[in-house]
Structure 1
Amino acid sequence: MKKTTNYLIILIVLFTFQQNVFAQPSAKKLYKYPFGVQAYTFRNHFPKDVVGTLDKIQKMGITEIETSGAKGVTDEEYKKLCDARGIVIPSTGAGYDQLEKKSQDIVTKAKIFNASYVMCAWIPHKGDNFTIEDAKKAVEVFNNAGKFLKENGLTFCYHPHGYEFRPYENGTLLDYLIKNTNPEFVSFEMDVLWILHGGGNPVKLLKTYGNRWKLMHVKDLKKGVVGNFSGGTPAENDVVLGTGQADWKNIFKQSNKIGIKHYFIEDESEHELENVPLSIEYLKNLK
Structure 2
Amino acid sequence: MQRRKFIQSGTMAAAGLLLARSAAAGILTGKKAFPSPGLQLYTLGDMMTKDAKGTLLQLAAIGYKELESAGSQKGNFYGYKPKELAAMIKDAGMTWRSAHVGGAAFTMESLMKMAKTAADSARMEKIWDRMKNMPKSLNLKENHHELADAAAEGGIGYLVCSSIPVSTLDEIKTAVDVFNKAGEACKKAGVQFAYHNHTSEFDDVEGHRPFDYILANTDKNLVKMELDLAWATKAKQDPVALFKMHPGRFPLWHVKDLDKATMNPAEVGSGVVDFKHIFDNAKESGMKYYFVEQDGAPQPIQNVTNSLNYLKKTLY
TM > 0.5 between the two?
A: yes
SS in 1 for 2:311: helix
1:242-261 equivalences in 2 (<5 Å): 242-261=269-288
Whole-Å Cα distance in 1 between the matches of residues 63 and 309 of structure 2? 11
What is the TM-score with the length of structure 1 in the denominator? Answer: 0.80
Give SS of 2:220's match.
Answer: coil
* C-alpha distance after superposition, 1:221-242 (max 9, x if no partner): 111346xxxxxxxxxx221211
Deviates more, 1:166-175 or 1:87-96: 166-175
Gap regions ≥5 residues in structure 2: 1-11, 71-75, 105-138
Aligned to 2:78: 71
Residue 99 of structure 2: aligned partner: 92
Question: Hey, what does 2:289 align to over in structure 1?
Answer: 262
TM-score, normalisation: structure 2: 0.73
Distance 2:98 2:157 in 1: 6
Task: State the identity as a percent.
Answer: 32
> What is the aligned partner in structure 2 of residue 37 from structure 1?
39
**2:160 matched to 1:119?**
yes
CA RMSD of aligned residues (A): 2.6
The SS at the match of 2:246 is helix
Gap change, CA 1:111 and 1:200, over 3 Å in 2: same
CA drift at 1:186: 0.9
Partners of 1:37 and 1:141 lie apart in 2 by: 26
CA shift at 1:172, angstroms?
Answer: 2.5
- Which position in structure 2 is the counterpart of 1:46? 48
Q: Matched residue of 2:190: which SS?
A: coil
Separation in structure 2 between the aligned mates of residue 271 and residue 31 of structure 1, nearest angstrom? 30
For 1:279, the equivalent position in structure 2 comes to 307
Deviation per residue, 1:56-103 (Å, 9 max, x gap): 111111111111564344333222111112211111122224322353
Deviations 1:11-37 (A, max 9, x none): x9xxx9xx99xx899873176212211
Aligned to 1:140: 177
More deviation, 161-170/24-33: 24-33
The letter of the residue matching 2:269 is G
Aligned-pair CA distance for 1:169: 8.4
Secondary structure of 1:46's match?
A: helix
CA contact (8 A) 1:31 1:252 kept: no
In the alignment, which residue of structure 1 is the partner of 2:145?
A: 104
Shift of 1:41: 1.3
Letter in 2 for 1:271: Q
Residues 148, 74 of structure 1: alpha-carbon distance in 2 compared, 3 angstrom cutoff = closer
**Matched residue, 1:4:** none
**Is the contact made by 2:169 and 2:206 (CA closer than 8 Å) also made in structure 1?**
no
Asked if the contact 1:195–1:201 (Cα under 8 Å) also holds between the matched residues in 2, the reply is yes
Contact preservation (8 Å) 1:240, 1:278: yes
| Change beyond 3 A, Cα 1:44–1:144 | closer
2:228 to 173, 178, 191: 191
Post-superposition offset of 1:168:
5.6
Shift in Å at residue 133 of structure 1? 2.2
Task: Figure out how many residues of one structure are paired with residues of the other and give that number.
Answer: 255
Within 5 Å, give how 1:10-29 maps onto structure 2.
28-29=30-31
Whole-Å separation in 2 of the counterparts to 1:70 and 1:170: 38
Instruction: Measure the CA separation in 2 of the matches of 1:79 and 1:194.
Output: 29
Secondary structure of the structure 1 residue equivalent to 2:248: helix
Structure 2 CA distance for aligned equivalents of residues 135 and 30 of structure 1: 39
Residue number among 159, 162, 170 corresponding to 2:196 in the alignment: 159
Q: 1:81 matched to which residue of 2?
A: 88
The one-letter code matched in structure 2 to 1:109 is: A
Q: Which runs of 4+ in 1 moved over 6 A?
A: 23-27
Local SS of the residue matching 1:96? coil
Alpha-carbon separation, structure 2, partners of 1:110 and 1:174: 25
Give the equivalent residue in structure 1 for 2:3: none
